[in-house]
Amino acid sequence: MALDLIAWIPYGILHFALPAIVIGILFIFGAPGSGPSFAKAFGWMNITGVTIQLLFPCTPPWYENEHGLSPAAYGMPGSPAGLARIDKIFGFDMYTTNFSTAPVPFGAFPSLHSGNAVIEALFLSYCFPRFRGFFAGYVLWIWWATMYLSHHYAVDLVGGGLIAAAFFYVYKAYWMPRPQHDKATRWDYEYVEYGDRKSIFDEEFGAYALGLIDRHPPSDSDEWTVGSSSSSFASGSGSVSPTLSEESITFRREVLGMDVRPDQAWDGPRVTKNDLRQVVVVG
């Protein structure tokens, strides 16, 4: 009885309650936008998993326990398997009818119990890395419970976990807000950065490519001069106007097809020292 109850908690309760709890935690304590990112990844993962279950039906362990190796067919009733013992313990029907009349009785692969637990653990670990061990422990707990209750084989758990990991890493790379671990709640954030994938656009078409910011450390021959008419820069009092760097000239010629001269000054708007103080470069 004790093992039945230990397995029932993650499989029969937490599996259904945790998605809403995780969204609430991410909404309050994560970076703004973390909750919607999790919800989208979670939804697409489940749609993918159910699609695979419908296209490639697989019987769970309870089928072999009850019917041996006889061929299965849609229309056969499902089974609560080990959850039937939970109904007996509490004395009322929580799972027997629901699982016996399930519309997808042979949806063992991939395990969405595994997929849900893995994607929840990955998102929470990304936002709250100090508790990574706790989240991993929950995944192992529900993996054991699914096999103990005869609802999944180990390969089903691996399949669900891999699908969950794929969706997490895609969203992490492109759309997941980066957590700032010195912030306690979403209301402490002053700005938000999304994804951890470096953008080619930022590198090639940003301030570096335009020659406004030099990658090299400043020196006496640096391209920035303030209020000097004797340098190689066209500048006025308190203004800054750089000439184009060699890298910028190569970029304009080869990528943009522009005809430029090494001594050609930047032809954009004048930038004053006060304006420069307002520039924030986000990597």
pLDDT of residue 79: 86
Query: Which tokens hold the place of 181?
Result: 């671990």
Q: Which two tokens stand for residue 105?
A: 């009785």
Most confident of 16-20, 57-61, 221-225, 255-259: 16-20
Query: Residues 109-142: pLDDT tens digits?
Result: 999 999 999 999 999 999 999 999 999 999 999 9
Predicted confidence (pLDDT) at residue 219 exceeds the cutoff of 80: no
Q: Return phi, psi of residue 198, to 5°.
A: -70, 135
Q: What's the mean pLDDT in 250-255? A: 65
Question: Mean pLDDT, to the nearest integer, of 217-231?
Answer: 43
Tell me the mean pLDDT in the region 153-180.
95
* Longest CA pairwise span in the chain (Å): 93
In terms of pLDDT, which residue wins out, 170 or 222? Answer: 170
Q: Which residues contact 185 (CB under 8 A, 6 or more apart)?
A: 28, 29
Query: pLDDT at residue 232 above 50?
Result: no
Q: Mean pLDDT over residues 263-282, rounded? A: 49
Any idea how long the chain is? Answer: 283
DSSP 133-191: HHHHHHHHHHHHHHHHTTS--HHHHHHHHHHHHHHHHHHHHHTPBPP-TT-SSGGG-S-
Distance CA 134, CA 241 (A): 55
- Is the model's pLDDT at 230 over the cut of 80? no
Half-sphere exposure of 96 (CA within 13 A, CB side): 10
Dump pLDDT digits (tens) for 72-118. 777 788 888 899 999 999 998 898 888 888 888 888 999 999 999 99
Q: Reduce the DSSP state of residue 79 to 3 states and report it.
A: coil
Of 50-59, 112-121, 181-190, 266-275, the one with minimum mean pLDDT is 266-275
pTM metric for this prediction: 0.69
Q: Is the pLDDT of residue 273 over 90?
A: no
Query: Over pLDDT 70: what percentage of the chain?
Result: 69
State yes or no: pLDDT of 202 exceeds 50. Answer: no
Question: Whole-angstrom Cα distance, residue 145 to residue 4?
Answer: 9
pLDDT for res 103: 81
- 8 A C-beta contact, residue 256 and residue 188: no
Q: Output the six-digit token pair for 112.
A: 């969405």
Phi first, then psi: what are they for 8, rounded to 5°? -70, -35
| Confidence (pLDDT) at 67 | 81
